[in-house]
Amino acid sequence: MNRRTFLKLSALTGTVVGGKRIIGPFETFAGLSPQQKTENAPEEKWISTSCLNCSARCAIRVRVLKGKAVKITGNPLSSVADGKICPRGHLGLQVLYDPGRIRFPLKRTNKEKGRAIDPKWTRLSWEEAIEEVAHRLKSLRDKAQPHKLLLFSGLNSMSSEDLIFRFANAFGTPNLIFGNGLDGETEKSGRWMADGHYRSTAYDLDHTNYVLAFGAQMLESSIPLSRFLRKWGKLRREKSNRTKIVVISPRYSVTAAKADEWIPIRPGTDAALAMAIAHVILSEKLHDSDFISHWTTGFDLYKKLILHQYSPSVVSTVTGIPPETIQRIAREFAQTQPAIALGGKESLNWPEGSYTSYAIFCLNALAGSIDGPGGVIYQEHPKYQEMSPLVEDDIAREGKAQPCLDLRGTTKFPAAQVVTNQIPESLLADTPYAIELAIGFNSNFNMLAPGSERWDQALGKIPYSVHVSPFISEMALYADLLLPSATYLEEWGYDHSPAGGGVAEVRLKQPVVKPLGETRAISDILFHLSKNLKAVAPSFANLGDGPEGFVKFRTSPMMPWKEFLRKGVWTGPNYQYKKYQRIFNTPSKKFEFTSGNLRSLMAKKGKRDEELNLLPQYREANFLGKKDQHPFVLIPYQPLMVIENGSQNYPWAQEIFLPMHGRGWETLIEINREVGERMGFRNGQMIWVESPFEKIKGRVKLSDGIHPEVVAIPSGQGHYAYGKWQQGIGVNPHEIIGVDYDRLSGQAAFFNTRVKIYKA
Amino acid sequence: MPRWGMVIDLDKCVGCQACTIACKAENNVPYGSPEEQKSRKDVYWNKVIAVTSGKYPKVNTELIPMPCMHCDQAPCVTVCPAKATYRREDGIIVQDFRRCIGCKYCIVACPYGARSFNSKEQEEKEYHRKDLPPDRSVWGPWPFPTRTHGVVEKCTFCFHRIDQGIKEGKRIGKEVVPACVEDCPANARAFGDLEDTGSEVSQLLASRGWIRLREELGTKCKVYYLPR
């Protein structure tokens, strides 16, 4: 021991002795006399609010001591996950106290924009910043070109989303782009073809006895994750009969490992398997004929198609799954009532994913699992206090009449509600018109979307862009002006439950600590901006006059404000099953095996689709890259520890990033052991993964849990913008994925890029 | 005198690692870094490990949450030359940071890899930044007001919660449980008195076959697993 360490050690002992005076050696606080207790009592509060580390936005409670948040846990009043939260919820502390957060507005002084280019930020005051944005907005209005404003919204509280939406409408731009187009749209459109609901599906997981998961990583990336985690425990050992869970996926995920059976499938063929399962059910007459005869239409055509084309032996050659296995799981599925079939990212975020979603959803109808206990249920939504009608002028109306940049609703993406990944192409080609100003709210699409490079180019091209975020994300790197927003633990807001337990639920967001530095909540910024903009101000007038007032106003029908502040959760009436009279939102008012919704949509677009195109079906996936050149299919999967706010600068998440491999702080490129050994790879060796577009380098992991035809790479790493716990760690598979879409919904395809691999 | 124990149901466990993070948040366990992970110096009081066997497509991975097993015959207690680690009357094995001389015998002796050596430099910026958790000066009832580097650390079954709960007359195992039990979303963990036949842990053990890890070593650990 040298003298320096010795000195350090003695200093350290000093601290320990000092600590003794406060609490005493191994004496707990409770051991003190009542008087000492009050004197030393740290000011402790438990505050109810809601999470924002993924779009489920679960109700949480935060323990605050002397103005510092120290622990996050679930709110027992929330029924979606029986008051539990997923591991990501706990990370809120590191989101809040992230040392990489921006504390004050920043302005770019380097005109050049690009990945490795230093923006040379300089500090400015909020007044100057708001003035700057308001000035630019005003000049667009003055030119009567409000549509040249482009708004991005990433992961935000629902109340912020409502305000951003209202802002866009009052201002007069059709170009409000949410991140939804990157996930979940195919699921919605497939379901819409069947029952007319363009929404995510909720499942009554309390009573299900059999689960067939097609590429749905229920324990990692499904939403709401906390619900799947909680109910998994319930399905296994908290009811009289244990639920069987079968996972179909090319990858042996955590979900597959925890399931009863893992069935590896050739990537992109889930629809064929779903159709073959229907084949077994129909040919063996195992379907719920009562439900089908009363509450469905188009069944005969569907049955004919299934029996004609999708026998297990034919599908076996497509999927690589033995016909006996298909028969067995089909019988189990149909005979173990109630059963559900669900799809997930890895089966649905494909071109033609809508049809896959449709095919999987129809299995639920065959099994009679529609709106009954243990089946698909219909999520109810709360009724907030209505906002006063929008005040808009002719400029706004004409602006909104302009076509949207993402081509939604055009013949290219007929059913689409948002096509997030189309934006770079439109920006680069100036179609339908050039954008002059962009404002991003917590968005980080150039990390999350396939084909990152186009995003970088397109963002660099926007004449002026403003970014609102708690940290300098990859998208913020391209901003001219950076406004530091508060995190979700410092803002007012409300959220409601995503498709989950069926029952409507509203969660309150309230600041658990004062915003750090000069940060301001998005709602605060919008209210401020609206005051400086004549066009928007009237629409923001009677909304409660500020962030807290807005939440109070909107949630006033739920419960008294004081009670809501304390409880943090409002729950709607109990769920009623079998509402067949009113749940089907289709032309026939029934569940449709032949989609009337699609038929009428196509008619509206002036396109008459062939009758066959209106049925669920398997269409061979269009792969980007030729098999002889690029023999593997790339699967960029999402591990649980990926925080969906656009940052990964959280050491608690990073160090346990890949639980199946016991590794963190890294991207592992997983390939089949036999294939890898044949190619001469050793575990841990660096390899290149090259698509027809780009290549990335990483450590290879030879695994027995992966289909021989695929290469799996976790997403979430490869950040380059900020943060010592994420910068330069791992690689981002989205950089090498090609750009493709599901035709109907405009959902970006993530899984149809082919790659080759070789030693680095 | 109760004998505290834990039951982890591997059929209900979802491998999500909420236990690991909840533990870190509750007990101010330092987070690691890429370098520390490479040299296996990162500190965990609870970790989920993966054990894989079999060949494609018949592969099997067990994800096993590993807290300290709190053995009744604890090898770490036997080998400690400084009596820094000892068994409390209620069966919890604790580590006295003040007595620990950092010799790491206990780490070698522990058959479960439950112990970590804290080699974090105290003055390391992000570990001791006042504006970041963990800031121990505001923590409240917790036995270790400040952290010491150069000592061995391990799971305590959150005995600060238990001790306080007992003093407040709360029911341990129901109203008061360790952080990993409270925050397990699958409710895969239960905690309570193994001596009390009516406790949840005792009833779970009576309901199904159970295993203890490395039973053959005779450590008599108090963490039980219910297999799938």
- Determine if residue A486 is left, alpha or beta; phi over 0 gives left, psi from -120 to 50 gives alpha, anything else beta: beta
Among A residues 659-698, those touching chain B with beta carbons less than 8 Å apart:
659-666, 672-674
Q: Percent of chain B beyond pLDDT 90?
A: 73
Q: What pLDDT score does A427 carry?
A: 97
Confidence (pTM): 0.93
Q: What pLDDT score does A44 carry?
A: 79
pLDDT tens-place string over residues A333-356: 999 999 999 999 999 999 999 999
* Residue A91 near chain B (CB below 8 Å): yes
Q: End of a domain among A531, A546, A561?
A: A546
Structurally, chain A folds into a number of domains equal to: 4
| Per-residue confidence band for A690, with pLDDT thresholds at 50, 70 and 90 | very high
The answer to whether residues A280 and A192 belong to one domain is yes
Which of the 8 DSSP states describes residue A231?
A: H
Give the H or E element holding residue A291: helix A289-295
Q: What pLDDT score does A39 carry?
A: 44
Residue A241 lies in a domain: yes
The answer to whether residues A428 and A286 belong to one domain is no
CA distance A651 to B121: 17
Question: B132 vs B81, which has greater pLDDT?
Answer: B81
Strand locations in A51-120 (E): 59-65, 68-74, 106-108
* Residue A300 near chain B (CB below 8 Å): no
B49 class by beta-carbon count within 10 Å (0-12 exposed, 13-18 middle, 19+ buried): middle
**Assigned architecture for domain B4-226:** 2-Layer Sandwich (3.30)
The answer to whether residues A373 and A402 belong to one domain is no
* Residue A25 near chain B (CB below 8 Å): yes
Residue A226 lies in a domain: yes
For the cut 90, the answer to whether the pLDDT of residue A4 exceeds it is no
Q: Which of B15, B122, B139 sits opposite A219 (nearest CB)?
A: B15
CATH of the domain at A525: 3.40.50.740
Q: Which residue type, as a one-letter code, is found at position A531?
A: K
Residue A473 lies in a domain: yes
Q: Are A651 and B131 a contacting pair at CB < 8 A? A: no
Q: Are A258 and B168 a contacting pair at CB < 8 A? A: no
Contact A390, A169 (CB under 8 A): yes
pLDDT tens-place string over residues A71-119: 899 999 999 999 999 999 999 999 999 989 999 999 999 999 999 899 9
Q: How far apart are the first and last CA of chain A?
A: 43
The answer to whether residues A148 and A254 belong to one domain is no
Q: B70-74 — which CB contacts under 8 Å span 24+ positions? A: B70/B4, B70/B5, B70/B6, B70/B155, B70/B157, B70/B221, B70/B222, B70/B223, B71/B219, B71/B220, B71/B221, B71/B222, B72/B3, B72/B219, B72/B220, B72/B221, B72/B222, B73/B218, B73/B219, B73/B220, B74/B219
Q: Which residues pair with A520 in a beta bridge?
A: A485
Residue B123 Cα, gap to closest chain A Cα (Å): 9
Q: Are B14 and A12 a contacting pair at CB < 8 A? A: no
Residue A395 lies in a domain: yes
CA distance A413 to A407: 7
pLDDT tens-place string over residues A282-306: 999 999 999 999 999 999 999 999 9
Torsion of CA A155, A160, A164, A169, to 10 degrees: 130
Contacts B23 to A, Cβ<8 Å: none
Q: Which residues pair with A507 in a beta bridge?
A: A495, A569
pLDDT tens-place string over residues A354-381: 999 999 999 999 999 999 999 999 999 9
The answer to whether residues A403 and A535 belong to one domain is yes
For the cut 50, the answer to whether the pLDDT of residue A30 exceeds it is no
The answer to whether residues A232 and A345 belong to one domain is yes
Residue A4 lies in a domain: yes
Count CB pairs under 8 A between chains A and B.
Answer: 217
Helix/strand/coil for A430 = coil
Residue B204 Cα, gap to closest chain A Cα (Å): 11
Q: End of a domain among A498, A528, A546?
A: A546
pLDDT tens-place string over residues B136-178: 444 444 455 456 678 899 999 998 889 888 988 999 999 999 9
Phi, psi (degrees; rounded to nearest 5) at B143: -70, -20
Please, what is the average pLDDT of chain A? 93
Residue A619 lies in a domain: no
| Per-residue confidence band for A22, with pLDDT thresholds at 50, 70 and 90 | very low
CA distance A650 to B153: 22
CA distance A475 to A477: 5
Q: Are A238 and B18 a contacting pair at CB < 8 A? A: no
For the cut 70, the answer to whether the pLDDT of residue A29 exceeds it is no
B111 class by beta-carbon count within 10 Å (0-12 exposed, 13-18 middle, 19+ buried): middle
* Residue A42 near chain B (CB below 8 Å): yes
pLDDT, mean of residues A506-534 = 96
Contacts B24 to A, Cβ<8 Å: 652
* Residue A76 near chain B (CB below 8 Å): no
The answer to whether residues A333 and A469 belong to one domain is no
Q: Which of A30, A71, A652 sits opposite B26 (nearest CB)?
A: A71
**Whats the size of chain B, residue-wise?**
228
Among A residues 478-517, those touching chain B with beta carbons less than 8 Å apart:
516
For the cut 90, the answer to whether the pLDDT of residue A18 exceeds it is no
Give the H or E element holding residue B50: strand B47-55
The answer to whether residues A141 and A221 belong to one domain is no
Contact A287, A366 (CB under 8 A): yes
pLDDT, mean of residues A435-446 = 97
Contacts A656 to B, Cβ<8 Å: 17, 20-21, 47-48
Lowest mean pLDDT among A63-77, A222-236, A692-706, B132-146: B132-146
Q: Which residue type, as a one-letter code, is found at position A675?
A: V
pLDDT tens-place string over residues B65-114: 999 999 999 999 999 999 999 999 999 999 888 889 999 999 999 999 99
Q: What pLDDT score does A42 carry?
A: 60
For chain A, helix (H) and strand (E) counts, in that order, are 28, 27
pLDDT tens-place string over residues A252-269: 999 999 999 999 999 999
Give the chain B residue nearest A227 (alpha carbons).
B185
Residue A384 lies in a domain: no
Q: What pLDDT score does A6 carry?
A: 35
| Per-residue confidence band for A717, with pLDDT thresholds at 50, 70 and 90 | very high
Helices marked H in A91-125 — which ranges? Answer: 92-96
For the cut 70, the answer to whether the pLDDT of residue B207 exceeds it is yes
Contacts A254 to B, Cβ<8 Å: 14-16, 63
CA distance A166 to A183: 24
Residue A69 lies in a domain: no
Residue A677 Cα, gap to closest chain B Cα (Å): 13
Helix/strand/coil for A164 = helix
Nearest to A87 by CA among A216, A225, A183, A223: A225
Q: What pLDDT score does A605 carry?
A: 84
How many CA atoms lie less than 13 Å away from B103 in the CB half-sphere? 14
The answer to whether residues A667 and A755 belong to one domain is yes
For the cut 60, the answer to whether the pLDDT of residue A23 exceeds it is no
Q: Are B138 and A65 a contacting pair at CB < 8 A? A: yes
Print the domain residue range for A462: 106-173+389-485+513-546
